[in-house]
Amino acid sequence: MQCSVIYGDIFVKHDMELHPESDSRLQIALSGVPQDVRWRDPVRATVSDLERVHRPQHIRWVQEIARGTCFLDSNTYVTCHSFDVASYAAGSASVAVERALDGEHSFALVRPPGHHAGPDRSMGFCIFNNAAVAAAKALESVDRVAILDWDLHHGNGTQEIFYDNDRVLFCSVHEENSFPGTGWVDEIGTGAGRGYTLNAPLAARSTIADYHLIFNDVFIPALARFRPDTLIISAGQDALFDDKRGRMSLEPEDYGVLTGMLIDSLDLSLALTLEGGYGPSHGKAIEAIFSALRGERFAFADGRAPQRNTEKVVEILEKVRFC
């Protein structure tokens, strides 16, 4: 299967030494990209692209404050380059969707990440919401978009942006009781969007057995019912066993398992955009994802059973239906 990576040196410029969200983590991720994959240049999102999901006042505020190094909140920094870099991150996620719609798996290896950024707030290392910007732009030409977020943390910004929208199905699997404290099973959307948000909070030390159950029994059936025109993956690999920012127990190859499950179950090319991922084995997880995108399949052979908490989450989410 044809696949590509979207990357450029522009993403080096948003950097703060010793901060967890620094360029060094992206370099680890890049180490997992196959040498013969097709590389595509990043593209900058326009202000109009950003305004589909962010309020104009917020965009102007970020642009004004990002004239030097400072913090937008307790952990989200900007430098004099950050507005440009964040614009390229959002635009490159849109390119990944465009390539997927043309039948090519595409991974936007970008930074800063985006899934915590809401309509009028930057937070959790995220300035603009890359996946949401890409989804909103795609909705200008397609009917339905699905976003699946497997980052360790709940994609609260993405959820907020599309919470009342029945043209976007948002699925998130994440560690319960972690930052930012949202993403519970009873958060299922509102108004026209009721039933179009599915949250699977998992207990600490969850393994591929737990993720496999959520994907197989909840997410993939929901995606099949929804029949999206494109599927965006908010791909944060911080649920790895060696990532100090979380308490989960995935192995690098497990991301190949999840990627393969989605490809084999849905007649869609995937558009992935990088979210979190801070551990030493992040590059190996990226390598496994690309291997799955190119046709290799990783056997699900975890001898452990899912945690009882995961089974309860499945029981609840199986009752959620689109209105």
**DSSP code for 10:** G
Residues with Cβ < 8 Å from 283, sequence gap 6 or more?
Answer: 28, 29, 30, 31, 32
User: Omega of the bond prior to 306 within 30 degrees of 0, cis?
Assistant: no
User: How many structural domains does the chain have?
Assistant: 1
What whole-number distance in Å separates Cα of residue 90 and Cα of residue 108?
9
pLDDT in tens, 100-125: 999 999 999 999 999 999 999 999 99
Mean pLDDT of 300-320: 91
Supply the CATH number for residue 151's domain: 3.40.800.20
Give the ranges where 102-166 is alpha helix by DSSP (H): 130-138, 156-162
Longest dimension (CA), the chain: 53
Flag whether 323 is in a domain.
no
Residue 321, pLDDT above cutoff 90: no
C-beta separation of 208 from 248 below 8 A: no
Look at residue 322 and tell me if it is in a domain. no
Residue 282 bears catalytic tag: no
Q: What is the pLDDT of residue 303?
A: 74
Token representation of residue 300: 């699900």
Decide if 8 is inside a domain.
yes
What was the pLDDT predicted at 78? 95
- pLDDT score of 323 more than 70: no
In this prediction, residue 301 carries a pLDDT of 73
DSSP per-residue codes, 169-195: EEEEEEETT-TTS---TT----GGGTT
Indicate whether 297 belongs to any domain.
yes
Task: Report pLDDT for 17.
Answer: 82
pLDDT recorded at residue 295: 96
Give the residue among 146, 147, 105 at the shortest CA–CA distance from 264: 105
Q: What is the pLDDT of residue 24?
A: 92
Over residues 198-207, the mean pLDDT reads: 97
Is 235 buried (19+), middle (13-18) or exposed (0-12) by CB count in 10 A?
A: buried
pLDDT digits (tens, 9 = 90+) for 3-61: 999 999 999 999 898 899 999 999 999 999 999 999 999 999 999 999 999 999 999 99
Burial label, 229 (beta-carbon count in 10 A; 0-12, 13-18, 19+): middle
> 275: domain range?
3-317
Over residues 164-191, mean pLDDT: 98
Task: Give the integer Cα–Cα distance in Å for 226 and 5.
Answer: 27
Q: Is residue 257 part of a domain?
A: yes
Q: Is residue 60 part of a domain?
A: yes
Determine the pLDDT at residue 300: 83
pLDDT above 90: percentage of residues in the chain = 95
Residue with tokens 């010793």: 18
Tell me which of 14, 116, 212, 282 is the catalytic residue. Answer: 116
Strands 168-175 and 197-202: parallel
Q: What is the mean pLDDT of the chain?
A: 96
Residue with tokens 């497997």: 150
For 282-305, write each residue's pLDDT tens digit.
Answer: 999 999 999 999 999 998 876 789
Mean pLDDT of 244-251: 96
pLDDT classification of 137: cutoffs 50, 70, 90: very high
| Structure tokens, 184 | 């519970």
- Average the pLDDT over 83-109 and give the result: 98
